[in-house]
Structure 1
Amino acid sequence: MVQNHNPLFAVAEVQLSYNTQIRPSDRPKVAQSRDIYEILKAHWENSLIDLQEVFKVLLLNRANRVLGIYNASSGGMSGTIADPKLIFAVALKAGASSIVLAHNHPSGNLKPSKADIQYTNRLVSAGALLDIAVLDHLILTSEGYFSFADEGMI
């Protein structure tokens, strides 16, 4: 094959794939915020939940079965920044119909901050454009959780 050294042909190839070894019927199903909390808590590093803020995204199919968990960002003791473009790129790549946002508060305070509320609203709007529903946003601590959906905030 002849190689063309024209710079117009020097572009990266983009591939889209999602691979899993888990059968759809074996994936956990989410019906309420407590289910989400239990799944996330089982996948959270216990040694960090009271130390370092982490932001995760639960990816769900149309039947609310878990496709996967994406670790969107890790920050410091008082905050972390998750990139919306990466969150939705992962959701699209996994073929997610909906997502659940989650982050921990190392302080143990379950009350969402103004920034938490604004960021959640921003992601809900972005998801609506992509037809990917943001079903909930959980704030976790080692002792419990807060659900935006349960409180009527989503």
Structure 2
Amino acid sequence: MKEEAQVPVKLVDIVQVKLVREKTISYKERRIRSSHDAYKIFQEIVGDSDREVFAIACLSTCNEINCFQIVHIGYINISIVQPSDVMKAAILSNSASILAFHNHPSDDSTPSPEDIAITERLVEAGGIIGTNVLDHLMCTSNGFHTLK
């Protein structure tokens, strides 16, 4: 009679995923009403970084900011993000929509083919999970370009 080999027990972690507040800022304009409002909040938080910074503002159904997240800090001319990383804070903060931003340290706000491609991927991912991507702004120290 053959003995059955003992299979080791698989340990499974029970986890909880949370949104953690790092800090709080005052934003006097309660709602985002325009791309210019969005640009102002990005500049207030990110400023003139010497590297590309990709961030999102997660919004309620009334376009009030639920949270702001810096998703990725890249290099002088590129910041690579995945839709799953971008949408994570939106899901955890129960947001209806997001605004995506990133800066162009070169001070040229013209969108690159990669900027357009990630915007299309974000819109597609947002459509699947029910989170509307309202806009993607390429920001510089003296203005912005919108992909709206």
Q: TM-score of the superposition, structure 1-length normalised?
A: 0.81
Which residue in 2 is equivalent to 1:32? 34
The residue identity in structure 2 corresponding to 1:33 is: S
Write the letter of the residue equivalent to 1:125.
Answer: E
What residue number does 2:137 align with?
Answer: 138
What stretches of structure 2 of length at least 5 have no aligned partner? 1-7
1:28 alignment partner AA: R
86-95 or 128-137: bigger deviation: 86-95
TM-aligned CA distance change 1:11 to 1:45, over 3 Å: farther
Q: C-alpha distance in 1, partners of 2:91/2:64?
A: 16
Q: Is the 8 A contact 2:52 2:74 kept in 1?
A: yes
Give 1:99 shift. 0.5
Aligned length: 137
Greater Cα radius of gyration, structure 1 or 2: 2
SS in structure 2 of the partner of residue 13 of structure 1: coil
Q: Which residue of structure 2 aligns with residue 65 of structure 1? A: 64
SS in 1 for 2:42: helix
SS of corresponding position for 2:108: coil
Counterpart residue number, 2:100: 101
AA in 2 matched with 1:130: I
Gaps of 5+ in 1: 1-5, 150-154
Q: Alignment partner of 2:110: what SS?
A: coil
1:54 corresponds in structure 2 to 53
Please report the RMSD computed on the Cα atoms of aligned residues, expressed in angstroms. 2.0
